[in-house]
A and B are shown apart, each in its own frame.
Chain A
Amino acid sequence: MSYLELSGLQKRYRDSVAVDDVSLSVEQGEAVALLGPSGCGKTTTLRMLAGLVDPDRGAILLDDTEITRLPAHRRNMGYVFQSYALFPHLTVARNVGFGLEERGIAKAEIARQVTEALALVRLAGLDGRRPRELSGGQQQRVALARALVIRPAVLLLDESLSNLDAKLRDTMRHEIRSIQRSLGITTLFVTHDQVEALTMCDRIAVMDRGRIAQIGSPEDIYERPATRFVAEFVGRANALPATRDAEGRAVLWGQALPVKAPARGAFDLFVRPQRMRIVPVSEPVADGMARVTGRVLRSVFVGDHVEVLFEGAGGQLTIETQSGTAALPEGTEVAVIWQARDTLPFARETP
């Protein structure tokens, strides 16, 4: 039995199912991301864990004890809210010490632990400030310290970085990850930002319309998406409508590729833009490589890479190449190649 077990969790609202049969096992000390678009049920799942929402069905087990119906204040979950939810009428120190005061810990001990927690999130000396006197990043750190200081059974982070600007988000991402690792605290992280999920977590559960579409390591999710939804949601991908030939191979734009096509039904080939390379038309095709020919439509410099829009016989695709290489003039006839095993066929969704 794992440290934290969610089994068959379900939550319905009036006319929709927010969470439908979510099961998940989390080991002690592990960081797991719930990744998905808004409305996929990830926040509702987190709130059920915290006891802020009652599940209609299913069970939550923590350390072999069922906590499904335990009221929120007896669960010992550290919840960091998207809006931080700092108490505006209390100082930073009182905010951080709130949970300790509720636990009836002696004043001197609270002061010691608050100081320690504030040092951990690098906010030492701001004890006397009010939340509104702090920047967004500092408020975030206070919220984190407040959740950590109670030594929670599980740390729950709800879109905690989404209100920060891009640069600060990078910093906080690494900081939270290193705090999480050094304390060895079991963490569940709700996010719609794949970079957050990929960089901060040991495992990712991708959620789609109330269900978990795939659970796996960041590499698994990115390299071997189990469903079309995961392939589309995590990372970028060219979705190329294809057909099959008599030998069961996928045919793209009239060219047969060394890729096995699904047995039946319409399908698309998914290929990541950065797995594709542009080569001269004259270059011979190596074994195990897929190849299409066409011309460069447009090159866009994006800083750390160049995006090339390419047009072939049957459509367009995007290739990411490293910057620094000479830009290809528009209209250049080129070939695009990629490893056949980097091609993922998924059935086309019927709307």
Chain B
Amino acid sequence: MTGTARLKLLVLPAALFVLAVYAWPTLGLFRNAFNETGPTGAMIEAWSLKTSQEVFSDGFTFELTLNSLWLSLSATLIALMLSYPVALFLFRTTSRFRGLLAVIAIMPMLISGVVRVFGWLAILGDRGLVNTLAQSLGLISTPIKLVFNWTGVTIGLAESIMPYMILALLAGFGQLDRTLEEASRSLGASPARTFWRVTLPLSLPALALAAGLGFVLSMSAYITPKLLGGGRVFVLATEIFEQATTNTNWPVASVLAIYTLLLLLLLLVASNIAAKGLQR
């Protein structure tokens, strides 16, 4: 056996695992997508496109898609703007607390999504921190609705994807060399101009990487839209869950799941191409 062949063997356990817990169920999804739902709501084995036709002729699917895309886009952009300075600081700092600071930045990853949502309810609710504070300062007279609507979901989602985006940014900052900024300064560029002409352009690959990841995570997020949305926020992920569990309509859930998967695949490919283009 050659060295490379032996090396490839190292991938085998992971490949088998993915095959068992991902590829096989996904195949099952594909199969279910061609089944039909009978008048009683029971699944009927079939090889037809009837379910797909139903799903895609329903205007609600289109609305869900727009909702998902818009929510993911806004959450990603907010998270990106908040993550970039943090990641830049962590990348740069020579503080001996750097390791600790990095752990703090990604700490939310260690907390269950459900717990974090309840944290947001305590902060953003009608009698939460923000509203109480704003009222006692006399800024508002009645509480502003910050949860159980799109605002709450966007805030919660942005927060939940930030740790991942910070990690992605740190991984993508390869070209960002302090000396380049010093060179820019020595050539007469002010700190602001240096950021604009050197730091930001060289961060673009990292920003693209982080944005891609944040977007995918937002698209597939379920807990945050479900709990912070209070039943008023409908996206693809919540609808798939409803169809699969409440309605036990597996064919429709399968069609929606595969549709979401393809949508994400398309976006990933596009963001990869964009990142490669920026790296040149």
Interface residues of A (CB under 8 A from B): 50-52, 71-79, 81, 83, 85-89, 98-99, 102-103, 146-147, 150
Contact = CB atoms under 8 A, between A and B. Distances in A.
- The dominant DSSP class at the B interface is helix
B3 interface: no
Given A73-B189, A98-B187, A102-B189, A88 B182 contact: no
B188 A102 contact: yes
B189 to A, nearest CB: 5
Interface string B164-208: 000000000001010110111111111101100110011000000
A88 B202 contact: yes
Contacts of A78: 186
Interface of B: 175, 177, 179-180, 182-191, 193-194, 197-198, 201-202
A98 B187 CA distance: 7
A79 B180 contact: no
B193 A79 contact: no
A185 to B, nearest CB: 15
A51 B191 CA distance: 13
A137 B184 CA distance: 21
A89 B182 CA distance: 16
Contacts of B188: 73-74, 76, 99, 102-103, 150
Given A87-B198, A89-B202, A72 B179 contact: no
Given A85-B180, A89-B201, A102-B193, A72 B175 contact: no
A50 B186 contact: yes
- The 5 A-B pairs of least Cβ separation, nearest first, read A99-B187, A85-B183, A79-B186, A102-B188, A72-B185
B279 to A, nearest CB: 9
B209 to A, nearest CB: 16
B179 A73 contact: no
Contacts of A150: 187-188
B190 to A, nearest CB: 5
Contacts of B180: 85, 87-88
A73 B185 CA distance: 5
B187 A52 contact: no
Contact of A146 (B187, B193, B197): B187
A103 B191 CA distance: 15
Given A99-B187, A102-B189, A102-B193, A85 B177 contact: yes
